[in-house]
Amino acid sequence: MKRRTAGGTSHQSRVTSHASLLEGQVVASFGRRYLVELADATSLDCVTRGRRGEIACGDRVSVAVRGPGQGVIEAVAPRTTLLYRSDQVRQKLVAANVTQIVIVVAPVPAFHEELLNRCLAAAEQGGIAALIALNKSDLPQAAAALETLEPYRKLGYRVVAFSAKRDLSALAPHLREHTSVLVGQSGMGKSTLVNALVPGASVRVAELSAALDSGRHTTTHARLYHLDATSHLIDSPGLQEFGLHHFDPDELAHAFVEFRPHLGHCRFRDCRHMTEPGCAITAACTRGEISERRLASYRGLVRENAR
């Protein structure tokens, strides 16, 4: 399947002397500034000559030193993967060169299944493994949350339950030898999880807003942490939406894994699986092979992208 990446997989800028460039990795992004970690574990506060938004946390870059602790990103190496979201106006890079997306959900505040479906679709389209991580499993509402997630387990997605405040033993094995990016709506406990996984990370944990049934945004930038020599973690800001405007209709249908056995079997070759007669996806839903909630999520995305 054709894969597109925002901003391209690499870009070259004006380079005065290739021999003078240092190789590093973007370990934090702050709007127009980036913290680049070099091979000797020192870091440079860098700017870029390119357009804003073309560089993501996790990118491997070449930098030119421009002063004590300062540098300019001159080039970005080709990416193995890129996770990003988009709407009709702009795109937002989330993380680059990750091997796994960890979608953090929780029973309180209630997680949005629509957002979960979008994150899973983005992972499928980007060729990134997906793990659904249910935090706060010690709460009484966790049983109902696990029941909601059971259909995803049956689709082949890994689902793991744990409590970031009490015990990470169920989650830890899934992070080994991966570069994982944490995504999820605000209030799911991502900051608490990072604090537990990376002692000294000093990630501020916000109080939950019970009235809004959501958490306040505590992470305002993406940041990469090293769990060990082969395991890394990128924390990303809390999400309230995840647009997939960059998907074309065929990519969108293929990103819903349960649709795949039925694709190509509709009456019309250009079927978009909305209200067309003879739609194999609709028929599979009627037979109970595709959940009504997942089909509704797909159709909502089609309508959104069409606008």
pLDDT grade for 13, boundaries at 50, 70 and 90: very low
Superfamily grouping for domain 11-76:
Nucleic acid-binding proteins (2.40.50.140)
Residues of the chain with CATH 3.40.50: 82-235
- Whether the per-residue pLDDT at 285 is higher than 90: the answer is yes
CATH architecture of the domain with range 249-306: Orthogonal Bundle (1.10)
What is the model's pLDDT at position 14? 41
Which pLDDT value is given to residue 241? 80
Confidence class of residue 221 from pLDDT cuts 50, 70 and 90?
Answer: confident
Residue intervals of the chain classified under CATH 1.10.40.50 are 249-306
How far separated are the first and last CA of the chain, in Å rounded?
25
Tell me: pLDDT of 3 over 70.
no
Q: Confidence class of residue 2 from pLDDT cuts 50, 70 and 90?
A: very low
- Of 96, 118, 261, nearest to 185 by C-alpha is 118
Backbone angles phi, psi at 144, to 5 degrees: -65, -35
- What per-residue string of b and e applies to 123-152 under the rule 16 or more CB within 10 Å gives b? bbbbebbbbbbbbbbeeeebeebeebbeeb
Q: Is 11 a residue whose pLDDT tops 50? A: no
- Residues of the chain within CATH 2.40.50.140 domain(s) are 11-76
pLDDT band at 6 (very low <50, low <70, confident <90, very high): low
More confident residue, 68 or 5: 68
**Which uninterrupted H or E stretch holds 118?**
helix 113-126
Name the CA radius of gyration of the chain, rounded.
Answer: 20
Tell me the average pLDDT across 193-219. 57
pLDDT at 209: 34
Average pLDDT of the chain to the nearest whole number: 87
64 touches 71 (CB < 8 A): yes
Domain 82-235, what fold?
Rossmann fold (3.40.50)
Q: 245-282, pLDDT tens digit by residue?
A: 899 889 999 999 999 999 999 999 999 999 999 999 99
Q: How far is CA 20 from CA 62, 130, 145, in A?
A: 10, 39, 53
154, containing H or E segment: helix 142-154
